[in-house]
Amino acid sequence: MNVLANKVDETVAGSTTRVTLRPTSRGKIVGRCEKMQQLMATVDRIARSSCTVLITGESGTGKESMVGAIHDASKRSEAQLVTVNCGALPESLMESELFGHARGAFTGAHATRTGRVAQAEGGTLFLDEIGELPLNLQAKLLRLLQQREYTPVGDNRTLTADVRIVAATNRNLAEEVEKGNFREDLYYRLNVIELQLPALRERIEDVEVLVSHFYKKSMDMAGRDDLEGFEPEALEALMEHDWPGNIRELENVVQRAVLLSPGPTITREDIPAQLRRGPSQSEDDGVVAVLPDEGVNLRQVIEAYESQLVKQALERTKWNKNQAAKLLGMNRTTLVEMVKRKKLQSA
């Protein structure tokens, strides 16, 4: 039987199609489309400089792996790659997280604390979700970019920093500048080199090699050696999906299939119903529904579907409940109560 595992191994190993398989300290970059080849060529050209890089793209497109590729190929690779998620911390704590604080700077500051900028000295500082950074901190980040100087909270010293800054966002920062949510001068300082990552629906030819990669990874994680790969019909179902959650969503689907498939191959029935297209489903309201002949427990199905969407929103936003609530069209407090009720936890 011609299953995907064998087919893709031959494609990757052969010389007819060039495929990027680049391990990085933040995950492997996999792709064969022209856009990905161009991006990796740009990474190789800019890596050894210390220029600031802005990585843009939808959630789940692999921005963190691209940062890892830049850091690993740079002269700073022996030092640390330090990540700060600008949307994960309250505004009151973000300045201390970035720049550190002196003892007694605020209630609870019982000792001097080193910030992420100092931890990244000589290396790379990755500012994830830079579009979420509050305006007052944007001015202080601008000072760091322009003068390579910063001051810890509650301290009167001016410290210097030797760091390369790479920022990432899924927002359109040019639009945020027009709305007054992002400083124009900071935007131009960050946007020296922009790497725009394509959505998975724009590189659908990469789905096959990505599935092969995640299949092997998931087999190792699950401790399975009894599966032979994806059947062509299962791959076809994955190729037809538009992947709003991008690579992260694809990885979750492959991992689920590997865990739950009875084998010996992964079939179309092992793919979640909402990803399968066919005459039996209704898309008028955006919900894919397939009613089994034996019927369903409607409340149980709705509860499971709700839990799946909530967890996807949380994973897509790296468990930032404010952003996840916006994706789900609900209030943050409602989402928090739902997470508690469902006992959902980050992996």
Query: In this predicted model, what pLDDT tens digit does every residue of 128-148 receive, in sequence order?
Result: 999 989 898 999 999 999 989
Q: Do 94 and 192 belong together in one domain?
A: yes
Report if residue 226 sits inside a domain: yes
Q: How far is CA 214 from CA 5, 211, 222, 257, in A?
A: 11, 5, 12, 11
Q: Do 164 and 282 belong together in one domain?
A: no
344: domain CATH number? 1.10.10.60
Mean pLDDT of 96-101: 81
Point out the domain boundary residue: 197, 215, 236.
Answer: 197
Question: Which of 127, 162, 197 is at the close of a domain?
Answer: 197
Q: Taking residues 48-76, what's their average pLDDT? A: 92
What average pLDDT does the segment 90-106 reach? 75
Q: Measured between alpha carbons, how far apart are the two ends of the chain, in Å?
A: 35
Residue 29 lies in a domain: no
Find the range with the poorest average confidence among 17-21, 24-28, 329-333.
Answer: 17-21
Do 325 and 239 belong to one domain? no
Q: Are 309 and 284 in the same domain?
A: no
- How many domains does the chain fold into? 3
- What does the pLDDT look like over 304-332, one tens digit per residue? 778 888 888 888 888 888 888 888 888 77
135 and 87 in a common domain: yes
pLDDT at 101: 67
Task: Give mean pLDDT, residues 227-239.
Answer: 89
Helix H segments across 203-264? Answer: 207-222, 232-240, 246-260
Note whether 189 and 254 are same-domain residues: no
> Looking at the predicted structure, is the pLDDT value of residue 288 above 50?
no
pLDDT at 110 (0 to 100): 62
**CATH number of the domain within which 70 lies:** 3.40.50.300
| Secondary structure class of 61 (helix, strand, coil) | coil
pLDDT of 292 strictly over 70: no
In this structure, the answer to whether residues 321 and 221 fall within a common structural domain is no
Check whether residue 212 and residue 115 sit in a common domain.
no
Q: What average pLDDT is seen over the chain?
A: 82
pLDDT for position 27: 81
Question: Average pLDDT for residues 199-206, to the nearest whole number?
Answer: 91
Examine the domain organization and report whether 157 and 176 are in the same domain.
yes
Among the three residues 275, 290, 305, which one is the final residue of a domain in this structure?
290
Q: Is the pLDDT of residue 183 over 90?
A: yes
In this predicted structure, what is the pLDDT of residue 124? 94
Q: 205 or 12, which is more confident?
A: 205
Q: How confident is the model at residue 95 (pLDDT cuts 50, 70, 90)?
A: confident
- Confidence (pTM): 0.72
Residues 180 and 261 in one domain: no
- pLDDT, tens digit, 9 for 90 and up, residues 2-11: 444 433 333 3
Higher per-residue confidence, 311 vs 101: 311
Residue of 246, 129, 250 whose CA lies nearest to 199: 246
The DSSP output letter for 298 is H
Q: How far is CA 144 from CA 77, 118, 139, in A?
A: 21, 12, 9
Range of the domain at 327: 294-347
Residue 100 lies in a domain: yes
Q: Note whether 89 and 191 are same-domain residues.
A: yes
Q: What angle do CA 178, 130, 160 make, to 5 degrees?
A: 115
| Same structural domain, 76 and 148 | yes
The band of 73, judged by pLDDT with boundaries at 50, 70 and 90, is very high
Residue 102 in this model has a pLDDT that exceeds 80:
no
28 inside domain = no
Q: Are the CB atoms for 47 and 73 separated by under 8 Å? A: yes
